[in-house]
Amino acid sequence: MKIVSEITEVRNQIKAWRQEGCTVGLVPTMGYLHEGHLSLIDRARENHKVVVSIFVNPMQFGPTEDLASYPRDLQRDAKLCEEHGVDLIFHPNPEEMYDKNFCSYVDMGVLTEELCGLSRPVHFRGVCTVVTKLFNIVTPDRAYFGQKDAQQLAIIKRMVKDLNMPLEIVGCPIVREEDGLAKSSRNTYLSKEERKAALVLSRAVFLGEKMVRDGERDCSKVLDAMTKEIAKEPLAKIDYVKMVDLLTMQQIEKIETGVLAAMAVYIGNTRLIDNFLISVS
């Protein structure tokens, strides 16, 4: 396994692999890998070669967000990558990705205007820009993203379609702790008490999903039950709990086809997300 920090090094390696007839899978991450990331890497092994990018992207953090404190441990990440069969880690510094005169961005309307896009207005422009750059650098056949960031997954799928990018986006299921909490690098911020309180997110998700599976089609009733469940936890502060159309990310009143029920909740100072996807007929 190689660890490289320069774009030219990545391109040279990809060129050599292409000459050998290899397919390439890309797993974009911000590092501090957990079992969710590792499930993406394992899925990416369906390609001949796997590239993992580890880059804490400053462009997707707002001025009051946790860029400086975001957990980083390249040595630990590299060990996990090697154990899971990764061929190349791309670990650039910010200056390699964005030179001092950088002024080009990839932006999107509609899908970015709801859910996390409301409370984090610069976030998805940063995500779309860095992901586009990674696609241009690595030129993968497939790229892998987790359902935990369901809005991000929908946005990237739409961006690839709209811009005719020649790759497949593969969405992979949420990986949870044994007690239900969705895996996240930000879980490391939680105190013992907060970690216990954070289970209110998955409880609300499982409650809402069961209601829909049992036949409830009124979004307001599902959301009301989920919100009341979260409100039982004193350490929880809701950013949003919403149900949106799976393709447009716009709020809906009735569940008729594919739906995403998504939430962002602060546990203490830590903002966590969770969701469920469901299709009905």
Residue positions annotated with a catalytic role: 37
User: Residue 163 half-sphere exposure, CB side, CA atoms within 13 Å?
Assistant: 18
- The separation between CA 118 and the C-alpha centre of its own chain, rounded to angstroms, equals 17
Inter-axis angle of helices 150-162 and 123-138, nearest 10: 60
**Distance from C-alpha of 134 to C-alpha of 19, rounded to nearest angstrom:** 20
Please answer whether residues 60 and 122 qualify as being in contact, where contact means their C-beta atoms are separated by less than 8 angstroms. Answer: yes
Instruction: For strands 24-29 and 49-54, give the pairing.
Output: parallel
Instruction: Determine phi and psi for 271, rounding to 5 degrees.
Output: -90, 120
- Measuring CA to CA, which residue among 266, 219, 272, 277 is closest to residue 243? 219
How far apart are alpha carbons 154 and 114 in whole angstroms?
12
* Conformation bin of residue 230: beta by default, left when phi > 0, alpha when psi is -120 to 50: alpha
Q: Locate tokens 């239900």: which residue?
A: 180
Extended beta strands in 84-161, E state:
88-90, 142-146
Tell me the pairing of strands 88-90 and 2-4: parallel
Widest Cα–Cα separation across the chain: 58
